[in-house]
Structure 1
Amino acid sequence: MTDTRPLHFELRHRVAFAETDLSGCADHVGFLRWQDRCRELFLSQYAPGLLGHQCEEAPTGPLRLFTQQLTCELLAPVAALDEICVRLSSAEPGHSRLDLGFDHIRIGPGGAETLVARGSQRLACLSTEDGTARPAPIPADLVRALGGRTGRGLTLAGRAA
Structure 2
Amino acid sequence: MPHEFTLRHRVEFADTDMAGIIHFSSYFRYMEVTEHAFIRSLGFSVADRDSGIGWPRVDVGCSFRSPLRFEDELDVRLVVTAKKSKSLSYAFHITKVGTEPLLEVATGRMTVVCVAMDHETGTMKAARIPEALAAQLEVAPELGEAP
Superposed CA deviations along residues 62-121 of structure 1, whole A, max 9, x for unmatched, are 322222222111111111121100000111222211111111111224x64111111111
Shift of residue 9, structure 1, vs aligned partner: 0.7
TM-score w.r.t. the length of structure 2 is 0.83
What residue is the counterpart of 2:128 in the other structure?
Answer: 137
**Which runs of no fewer than 5 residues in structure 1 stay unpaired?**
57-61, 157-161
- Decide which of 128, 140, 144 is 2:117's aligned counterpart: 128
C-alpha deviation, 1:155, in angstroms = 6.0
CA deviation profile, 1:39-76 (whole Å, cap 9, x unmatched): 1111112132x3425553xxxxx322222222111111
Name the SS of the counterpart of 2:30 in structure 1: helix
* d(CA) in 2 for partners of 1:112, 1:141: 39
Q: Does 1:105 align with 2:95?
A: yes
- 2:47 equivalent to 1:52: yes
Q: Cα–Cα, structure 1 residues 122 and 46, in superposed 2: closer, same or farther, change >3 Å?
A: same
**TM-score in terms of structure 1 length:** 0.76
> Equivalent of 1:16, from 2, 8, 12?
12
Q: Which runs of 5+ in 2 are unaligned?
A: none
Specify the SS of the correspondent of 1:92. strand
SS of 2:40's equivalent in the other structure is helix
Residue 38 of structure 1 aligns with an amino acid whose one-letter code is T
Matched with 2:140 is 150
Report SS of the residue matched to 1:145. Answer: coil
- In the other structure, the counterpart of 1:37 is 33
Q: Secondary structure at the match of 2:55?
A: strand
1:67 maps to which residue? 57
* Aligned CA distance change for structure 1 residues 54 and 152 (closer, same or farther; 3 Å): farther
Counterpart contact for 1:90–1:151, Cα < 8 Å:
no
Conserved? CA contact 1:75–1:115, under 8 Å: yes
User: For 1:28, which of 24, 27, 40 is the aligned residue?
Assistant: 24
Q: Distance in 2 between matches of 1:51 and 1:122?
A: 13
- 1:86 corresponds to which of 76, 81, 84: 76
Percent of pairs with identical residues: 24
